[in-house]
Structure 1
Amino acid sequence: MEGLDVLLAKRKHTPKSEPEQNGSSLVQSSPSAGWFTSSKSAKKVSLASVTSIVDGLKRLYVQKLKPLEVTYRFNDFVFPLLANSDFDAKPMVMLLGQYSTGKTTFIKHLLRTSYPGAHIGPEPTTDRFVVVMNGPDERSVPGNTVAVQADMPYSGLTTFGTAFLSKFECSQMPHPLLEHITFVDTPGVLSGEKQRTQRSYDFTGVTSWFAAKCDLILLLFDPHKLDISDEFKRVIASLRGHDDKIRVVLNKADQVDTQQLMRVYGALMWSLGKVLNTPEVARVYIGSFNDKPINDTAAGPIGKELFEKEQDDLLTDLKDIPKKACDRHINEFVKRARAAKIHAYIISHLKREMPAMMGKAKTQQRLVDNLADEFAKVQREHHLPAGDFPDIEHFREVLSGYSIDKFEKLKPKMIQTVDDMLGYDIPELLKNFRNPYD
């Protein structure tokens, strides 16, 4: 994390020691690369043969979890099947905010240089989603090309259509910081319903997709743009379920004096309280994240010291992302395994309710209409927590396109395999391998 170390050192703080390993084991081309061609032909490999935690998760997914997902069509109802690139992807940081709040400048400040395709100005300049990542040379790759590359984890964006992919691009450049973190620069959130309708793609849906993939989400505000528009409110609402990833940044704070800053901070917290329906107070970083020296006249001596401490806290938070990314991989994998188990129970239950001969169409319609009751039966039968069940309306919408009679019956051996993976294999994996950033 050389880039962040330099920024921290500029503030005369003692930089943290470099990680013993650079995390290359997370993205290396290992023997597991061939595991994703076919789950049936995957050879059983002992746990002792894997080289890292992520490498072990790949093996466990292909051999133990993927067969369950394929059998009960989990990828059609809940999440797409995982590919090699989903495990190997670097941690991502997404920046959200209204136009001219300093999102692109923030990335430029951390990289200490501009990235290909970056435009900065007082007007809405960034008109597309830009993924800033490490690469052998400086270039911009169009979204349609990025979405079909097997070594990049963006194939799921094809569901948003060509209208979005034409507003998506990947900016590559060689940089020591980008070897550890990928940044997602987003278009400025518009204010007003009339402006929102001019977008040709589902902006909220795209931000929700990236939020699930990202490790940190920064909401940027400007002291002169504290109002949260209707679209921004919808965007923040789409981040629910990822509250632990959200950080709030009050940027350009040196443009106001100390007294005004106190009032601006209070107004921002009041605005956020209307949108973030959580009992906890959101963490707000105050500073001016650009390459210009802090304005002593506006901020005052107290403000300058405050800005430096706040910037150091945010940079330290960014430095911890690669370390936390390994834990996030495990957390998301366990959540996925539990969701796949519940999905298998639901599908097999619906299959069991179908008659052998007559009245199949009528029974299917009854099951689709009364999904809430069927979910309750599955919950009671297998003693499952109600909060882990999928959204009923979405499940009903997908289920309507299938013939329940064609689904598979419950296969206890598959369920037991996943239980063994959760109970024994993953704890053993964590016991044998450490986080490469520890």
Structure 2
Amino acid sequence: MEISSGPVGSCSKEHQKIYQEWFNCADSDGRITGNDAIKFFSMSNLSRQDLKQVWAISDSKRQGFLGFGEFIIAMQLVSLAQSGHEVTSDVLQSDIDFENLNPPAMEGLDALLAKKKKHPSKSNDPDLNGVTVNKLIPLSSVTSIIDGLKRLYIQKLKPLEVTYRFNDFVSPLLVNTPLGKPHSLSICSKAVIQSGTDERSIPGNTVAVQADMPFNGLTTFGTAFLSKFECSQMPHPLLEHITFVDTPGVLSGEKQRTQRAYDFTGVTSWFAAKCDLILLLFDPHKLDVSDEFKRVISSLRGHDDKIRVVLNKADQVDTQQLMRVYGALMWSLGKVLNTPEVVRVYIGSFNDKPIREGFVGPIGKELFEKEQEDLLADLKDIPKKACDRRINEFVKRARAAKIHAYIISHLKKEMPAMMGKAKTQQKLIDTLEDQFGKVQREFHLPPGDFPNVDQFRERLSGYNIDKFEKLKPKMIQAVDDMLGYDIPDLLKSFRNPYD
């Protein structure tokens, strides 16, 4: 396995061979879990506080385990601690020659390695990231947070989704979208840019049927969309951690009268649910929020924490104009986003050309450079926050599925046993907002967690409500138990083992 370039985590081929042998000795399933670490790291004779820091820095993505690359980082930090260095995150930015840093002293390791060679155990086949792909396993045996979420989904959440057709109304089943994908989707629908061994473009219809890619759910948008969708692959270190998804741009003015051949807002919503960051790009000369852009932003409801606004090409206006543009942008966004919280806006000229100081002056140039640094820092944090984001999205999905089940079962209960079913169904569809209110009051649910009424009504009109399932309290209770007990226990199991 090749180690990514850079000061920390890189090492000579000789040291890499040593660490590979140590890694195989320490792990039991292709990764170093908390229990593995406690046993193996204790041979360094470092204090518990130092080992706590080593784990916290190495497991920066909070996955609850260390792959081979993270294991090398951990061993290098142990070596530094043994030589008297303070173990902090600042050491990663230091000028230490990590590539030639000697492995740490591990008391009793030679004897353990000799024992392993004498009695070799069966090894698991790791995937491309050094992580064993686990199938359905007992919750008590999972070795990472992602494994645990997969197990909980199949056991407790998926049955509820299938019973009440959640995937038809809101989101495809997660079985088609690998939870443990190593990269994070960033920005939000026509072209995907991701890592690959060489430069090539893959047509949308091909991408949607590939089992090793998380785009199976896009088949629901039909050939009209897939024929305009493509995946571009190229070798680049950044793309090993982040996948970019770019839109073709929203329509405005007279162009809006020409309808797209596919559900543009639906596609955007699909990606929004799976990405880590959404960038809304504005031009200082084109601040109008078109009807299509309003629909797109409305489809991002529930993902407010992911949204960032970028005011690009800001060096094309002078300082006074920029103040007016910024105020106009905030006013327009306030009406569309419909939230009292102020959205984060990055101001600058985000391209590879020099900033035009003649317009903005030296103060503006300094501001733009700081804004660019902040945006890059936000992007760099995506891989580190990927695990937390998956947990957050999983919990949001579970709550949405539960509310969906309440809505569907309520509509089923309102249907007559014999006569007038068609008339009653139409009445329920017409008064759907009132029906949402009844469900909200009966089960004491937050009104902000309910789906968009118009979108729900549109999908509901294609179904026979009488064929829906009645409320099944045991399924609801299983999801409640998962949210109240199973997920907190899972997070507790994979916290820093030295806490």
Cα deviation, 1:248-272, whole Å, max 9, x if unaligned, reads 2122223333344334333433443
Change (3 A) 1:133 1:434: farther
Q: Give the whole-Å Cα distance in 2 for the aligned partners of 1:273 and 1:53.
A: 37
Q: After superposition, where does 1:10-49 map in structure 2 within 5 Å? A: 20-21=58-59, 30-32=132-134, 34-35=135-136, 45-47=138-140, 49=141
Moved more, 373-382 or 178-187: 373-382
Change (3 A) 1:353 1:175: same
Q: Counterpart amino acid of 2:148?
A: G
Q: Counterpart amino acid of 1:132?
A: I
Q: Does structure 1 residue 240 correspond to structure 2 residue 301? A: yes
Offset, 1:386? 4.2
Q: Give the whole-Å Cα distance in 2 for the aligned partners of 1:239 and 1:148.
A: 26
Identify which of structures 1 and 2 has the higher relative contact order when contacts are C-alpha pairs closer than 8 Å and 6+ apart. 1
| 2:425–2:465 CA contact under 8 A, matched in 1 | no
| 2:334–2:340 CA contact under 8 A, matched in 1 | no
Offset, 1:407? 4.5
Query: 1:93 — aligned with what?
Result: 186
Q: Which of the numbers 238, 254, 261 marks the counterpart of 1:200?
A: 261
Change (3 A) 1:336 1:242: closer
Q: Does structure 1 residue 360 correspond to structure 2 residue 421? A: no
Q: Give the whole-Å Cα distance in 2 for the aligned partners of 1:349 and 1:275.
A: 31
Q: Does structure 1 residue 316 correspond to structure 2 residue 377? A: yes
Q: Give the whole-Å Cα distance in 1 for the aligned partners of 2:193 and 2:211.
A: 18
Cα deviation, 1:104-159, whole Å, max 9, x if unaligned, reads xxxxxxxxxxxxxxxxxxxxxxxx81111112221111111111112222222222
Identity %: 76
| 2:171–2:270 CA contact under 8 A, matched in 1 | no
Change (3 A) 1:62 1:342: same
| 1:220–1:251 CA contact under 8 A, matched in 2 | yes
Q: Counterpart amino acid of 1:20?
A: S
Offset, 1:425? 0.9
Gaps of 5+ in 2: 8-55, 68-126
Query: 1:119 — aligned with what?
Result: none
| 2:273–2:393 CA contact under 8 A, matched in 1 | no
Q: Does structure 1 residue 219 correspond to structure 2 residue 219? A: no
Q: Counterpart amino acid of 2:170?
A: V
Between the two proteins, the alignment pairs up a number of residues equal to: 378
Change (3 A) 1:364 1:52: farther
Q: Which of the numbers 142, 150, 162 marks the counterpart of 1:70?
A: 162
Q: Return the TM-score normalized by structure 1.
A: 0.74
| 1:93–1:216 CA contact under 8 A, matched in 2 | yes
Q: Does structure 1 residue 52 correspond to structure 2 residue 152? A: no
| 1:53–1:429 CA contact under 8 A, matched in 2 | yes
Q: After superposition, where does 1:246-325 map in structure 2 within 5 Å? A: 246-325=307-386
Q: Counterpart amino acid of 2:482?
A: M
Q: Give the whole-Å Cα distance in 1 for the aligned partners of 2:191 and 2:396.
A: 29
Q: Give the whole-Å Cα distance in 1 for the aligned partners of 2:366 and 2:5.
A: 22
Q: Give the whole-Å Cα distance in 1 for the aligned partners of 2:445 and 2:280.
A: 36
Offset, 1:326? 2.0
Match of 1:156, SS state, is helix
Change (3 A) 1:275 1:65: closer
Q: Counterpart amino acid of 1:369?
A: K
Moved more, 409-418 or 286-295: 409-418
Q: Considering only aligned residues, what root-mean-square deviation do their CA atoms show, in Å?
A: 3.4
Change (3 A) 1:273 1:353: closer
Gaps of 5+ in 1: 6-17, 36-43, 96-127
Q: Counterpart amino acid of 1:67?
A: P
Change (3 A) 1:224 1:369: closer
Q: Give the whole-Å Cα distance in 2 for the aligned partners of 1:282 and 1:149.
A: 37
